[in-house]
Amino acid sequence: MSKYRHTSMYCYPSTEVLINNFDLKDEEKLKELEKVYTLFRLSEMQIKKPRDPVDKETFLAIHHGILKDVYPFAGELRKEMISKGSSSFAHPDFIETQLNKIFDELAEENYLKDLPRERLIPRLAYFLAELNALHPFREGNGRTLREFARQLLLNAGYQLNWEKVPEPAEIINAFVDSFNLNNDRLEKLLNEIIST
């Protein structure tokens, strides 16, 4: 049980444990189960040809596919405020409107297809930074973003291999910088892990 009173609609009362399909109230056991199921679902996605285009519906389907075994809210936009550290993410009232705006812009740019590498990387970093700042889901935003980017680039004729990043903290730090309006580190990281 949490020593803090938590009022999240996504958590069991008086805990910080997310309501889950296993009705597990032990956070450590839940995280272990979540890791097993999400790795399995992500590996399934790796061997399937992605939808084309990788649009808003595909983005939501990726989240659902990754977390459907574990959480009842898989594939749903969050309905409460969330934050990490000193960063608060988008208010839930604006998520759908902003998500539509981002994906309309991505469609206008033909889902980054036919872009030379030097233009592709800053545009991908821009879209990933926008989606990260939105943080549209209660849990699983990072995994969904990374899989979304992989599928988006596959359709654009590129390979994106997040496993090439030696330390997961590098990815987190790049997204923290992008949240603070600096995509340099994210662009550098993407440049190292994108190939044709």
Q: Is pLDDT larger for residue 122 or for residue 88?
A: 122
Chain-centroid distance, C-alpha 46: 16
Residue 67 burial (10 A CB sphere; 0-12, 13-18, 19+): buried
| Among the listed residues 190, 163, 128, 172, the one whose alpha carbon sits nearest the alpha carbon of residue 39 | 163
Q: Residues 161-181: what's their mean pLDDT?
A: 93
Predicted local distance difference test score (pLDDT) of residue 3: 34
15: in domain: no
47 pLDDT more than 60: yes
Q: What are phi and psi of 178, to 5 degrees?
A: -65, -35
Could you tell me the CATH number of the domain that includes residue 46? 1.10.3290.10
What is the reported pLDDT for 7? 78
* Structural domain containing residue 35: 27-78+86-195
| The pLDDT of residue 4 | 35
Per-residue pLDDT tens over the stretch 100-131? 999 999 999 999 999 999 999 999 999 999 99
Q: Is the pLDDT of residue 1 over 70?
A: no
Domain membership of residue 6 (yes or no) is: no
Least confident of 85-89, 117-121, 133-137, 173-177: 85-89
184 located within any domain? yes
- pTM for the whole thing? 0.94
Residue 137 included in any domain: yes
Residue 18 CB contacts under 8 Å (≥ 6 apart), including other chains: 10, 11, 30, 71, 138, 139
- pLDDT band at 2, cuts 50/70/90? very low
pLDDT beyond 50 at 6:
no
Q: Say if residue 5's pLDDT is above 80.
A: no
pLDDT of residue 85: 81
Number of domains in the chain: 1
Q: Which residues pair with 170 in a beta bridge?
A: none
